[in-house]
Copies of this chain bind each other. A is one copy, B any other.
């Protein structure tokens, strides 16, 4: 942490800052300039709030240095985290594709989707049984009935199941049926939920919040990791910006940035990241080229009748075509698919 004093801050105020640094068991290094004084704070200050100093008189600003996340950081663990999802390794050379409908709607829809995405090369089926929706009047998902349909489709198609969990109480139930627990973007800082999935010891797919910085994203992962659940997948799914042509702005920079900052696997959701079916293919290729470890893509056998997200869902034949086109891109960056 670096504490920058105001120009007019005199000796007395600097001394108070130094006293506080010491009271926290840290060490201060002073740089006195003609114009102002800078205090470098050294020691393990990851649990100290920059704000504790920002409020002292005479302090102009405090610059935090260590992101508070530790377990999630590349500093903590140099090699990539690789783990298995129902037999497929994520974080390794092979790119993992998860696909399926936004929401589980009925038996035929799930089975049809599952068989189609399996055939095209996906290793996991996505589909929501509990849906967080902006309006209380929108379709909220089939609940446990939806989980059962997912489990059935898994057995028929030989796919892992990834599905969303929206409250701490749901975790044990969803964990019975799912191979991967998904925490949605709106819940990225629902800390009660992060604790609950951390304790479940199931792999967790954590989506980046709509307006979360990379640092906040990694801190959210840290909540899960700190419960001794090391199997976290980071998912970039677009952030909220001023642009309205697309539903979100997919932050392609986040892929190499997260790979630099963290050892965790990183996947991309181009369906939510664009919100438009006609952009999904190009952005999927971009994600692979940028180094993503996987993709999560919405596929619906009949998007015209989808109960949610139809406009961004691929038809099975479009998904199959996309998978074909992704293979050479994966190979071009030394990966397989």
Contact = CB atoms under 8 A, between A and B. Distances in A.
B246 A249 contact: no
A216 interface: yes
Interface centre among A75, A241, A281 (most CB of B within 10 A): A241
Most buried by B among A44, A68, A311: A311
A120 interface: no
Contacts of A313: 55
A54 interface: yes
Nearest to A16: B304
Contacts of A81: none
Given A134-B189, A135-B222, A55 B303 contact: yes
A12 interface: no
A246 B258 CA distance: 11
Interface stretch (A109-117, A149-157, A282-290): A282-290
A226 B136 contact: yes
A175 interface: no
A158 interface: no
Interface string A36-54: 1010101110110101101
Q: How many copies does the complex hold?
A: 4
Nearest to A215: B245
Contacts of A308: 49, 51
Nearest to A273: B253
A290 B166 CA distance: 33
A239 interface: yes
Interface of A: 2, 4, 7, 16, 20, 27, 29-36, 38, 40, 42-44, 46-47, 49, 51-52, 54-57, 60, 63, 65-66, 68-69, 75, 132-139, 166-169, 186-187, 189-193, 210-211, 213-216, 219, 222-223, 226, 239-246, 249-253, 255-257, 259-260, 273-274, 276-279, 281-283, 285-291, 303-313, 325, 328-329, 331-333
Given A35-B42, A239-B241, 10 more contacts: A52-B305, A55-B303, A55-B306, A55-B312, A134-B216, A134-B219, A249-B253, A255-B282, A285-B333, A328-B333
